[in-house]
Structure 1
Amino acid sequence: MVTSIVTMKKRTIPAGKFKAECLGLIDRVAETEESFIVTKRGRPVVEIVPVRDRDVKPLRRSVIVHGDIVGPVLDSWDVER
């Protein structure tokens, strides 16, 4: 079986250009949900990514407590014997 791996190269932008176009780029990320990497002297320094809503509702009521969760686990420690 032959598997091909497709990698998408992230867009990069120099820090100076990012500084000049910051607000427009932020709007673009929010609208298109694409991310990009800001470089400084050709080296990646930060990645700008869109914020995604976290849905925590599936975790609600997912923990079941059995017994006392704040009391001691053992009656006495081995050190005290």
Structure 2
Amino acid sequence: MPNRRVSKSEFKAKASEFFRLVESSGESLIVTDLGQPTLELRPYQTDARDPLDLLRGSLLRYDNPMDPAGEDDWAAAW
């Protein structure tokens, strides 16, 4: 069912069937209105990444991590 397209009227008549189909296959479904794509129905995916993975690579360089933070350092952060 890759990129399967259905009209809005067909989707309305068989919505629960299409929900089950998308859920079981994992493929998306395009709903059209007058032949133009208007909606995409796809399985929900959580962003279950480790929070540290989101931060990885965000610190570019920190030369002296053991030095105390000075007044200017705090002012620059805000």
| TM-score class, shorter | 0.5 to 0.7
Give the alignment's TM-score, normalised by structure 1.
Answer: 0.61
Runs of 5+ in structure 2 lacking a partner? 60-64
Aligned equivalent of 1:79: none
User: Cα offset for 1:55?
Assistant: 1.6
CA distance in 1, matches of 2:36, 2:24: 26
Count matched residues.
Answer: 64
Aligned equivalent of 2:39: 46
Runs of 5+ in structure 1 lacking a partner? 1-8, 75-81
**Identity percentage of aligned residues:** 22
Alpha-carbon RMSD across the aligned residues, in angstroms, is 3.0
Runs (4+) of structure 1 moved beyond 4 Å? 61-64
Greater per-residue helix proportion: 2
Aligned equivalent of 1:71: 74
